[in-house]
Each structure stands twice: as C-alpha cells, then as structure tokens.
Amino acid sequence: MMREKGIKDQRVLDAMNKVPRHVFLDSSFLEHAYQNKAFPIGADQTISHPYTVAFQSELLQVKPNDKILEIGTGSGYQCAVLLEMGAQVYTIERQNELYKKTNLIFRKLNYRPKRYFFGDGYKGMPEDAPFDSIIVTCGAPQIPQTLLSQLKIGGRMVIPVGDDPQIMTLLIRETATQFSKETFGEFRFVPFLDGKQ
C-alpha cells in the first residue's frame, strides 16, 4: 500500500512492516489497525495514518545511529518505526496520560528510545542537542526557532506548519544561520501545544 502511494525508501517500508501497529491502538480499533486511517488514542490525540508516518520518515532520510528528536510521542508508533530504522530517538510527550500509556507499550515491545521525556515539546531537548534530524508530529502554527537551533548543520527538520490543514515542511540547516525550505502539500495533524499536562 505504501509503495503504491509513492513511498520509495525500502528502509522505511521494511521498518513499517516490522512494527505491529495494532499494539499501539485501543482494542476497539484492532480490526482496522492496518488501514490507512488515523485513530483516537486518548487525551484528544490520534495515531497518524501509516502513509503520513512513512512520508515523514522518508523525508528525514534516516541513517543508522542518526540522533533524532521527536516532538509528540503520542502512541509511540512513529518512534517505533524510527527505532526499527536504527535511529537513536529522543522523544517528548506533553500529555502525562499518553506518556505513561506509551511507556508500557515500549516496554512490552522492547522498544528503547535513547530518552523518553514528559515535557514541553516547544523547548526540545537542548541538553542533548545538536540532532541529525527533528520530526514534529503535531501541527505547528509557525516553525519554532528553539527547535531549529537544536539542529546540527546539514540536519533536517520535518514539521507540519499551519492551522488546518497544515503544510508538510522540510527544513535543512545549511549553515549556522541559513536554512533551505521545501513544502510537500497538505496534511492534518492535532495542534502543537505548549506546556505539559
């Protein structure tokens, strides 16, 4: 299904085939787990469409041992795909209910992010910066400068920008002060909120 939709990176396809998406869903959605749909996961959040996860992962151009910051752990599904691709993932979740629930799933499936943090995604993880890549899994009204500053030179940031819908945006840090920018069409994400709860 992903290949027909234009996903070409075999490492993304292989990783998605390895991750058991049904484990990241509430039991009431199990029979639909492998459809290309988003589902609620609690705390007014959703698990993204598999295509969206594949698309963002492909834009990152993940290499083994890449140090990746994920903003918005959510169900943990995107993080699991990146871990299957050999990345070292530092991931932040602002909803305590989801943070605890997803921690149990990570343990059950033996997925081990380098750091799994309950906190404000707008702050990122400056103490662990710089990162090879940053992936944002919620819709940001604008691009947060605090996150751009945590990207290494040559690093890539994939972020949906705007209200509803958002425009998928790729930023590459060319120099200390210059970024190139490319956009990839409309997607729908839950909003990127500050603080934690």
Per-residue pLDDT tens over the stretch 162-185: 988 999 999 999 999 999 999 999
Whether residue 180 lies in the annotated active site = no
Within a domain: 197: no
Domain of residue 92, CATH code: 3.40.50.150
What pLDDT is stored for residue 41 in this prediction? 64
Within a domain: 123: yes
Q: Which domain holds residue 74?
A: 10-187
Question: Which residue in 27, 28, 48, 149 is the catalytic one?
Answer: 48
Q: pLDDT tens digits for 124-148? A: 999 999 999 999 998 899 999 999 9
Q: Is the pLDDT of residue 28 over 80?
A: no
Within a domain: 195: no
Within a domain: 196: no
Q: pLDDT tens digits for 44-90? A: 666 677 899 999 999 999 999 999 999 999 999 999 999 999 999 99
With 0-12 CB in 10 A as exposed, 13-18 as middle and 19+ as buried, what is 85? buried
Within a domain: 193: no
CA atoms within a 13 Å half-sphere pointing along the CA-CB vector of 136: 36
Q: pLDDT tens digits for 81-122? A: 999 999 999 999 999 999 999 999 999 999 999 999 999 999
Within a domain: 1: no
CB neighbour list of residue 127: distance below 8 Å, 6 or more residues apart = none
Count of structural domains within the chain: 1
pTM, whole model, 2 decimals? Answer: 0.92
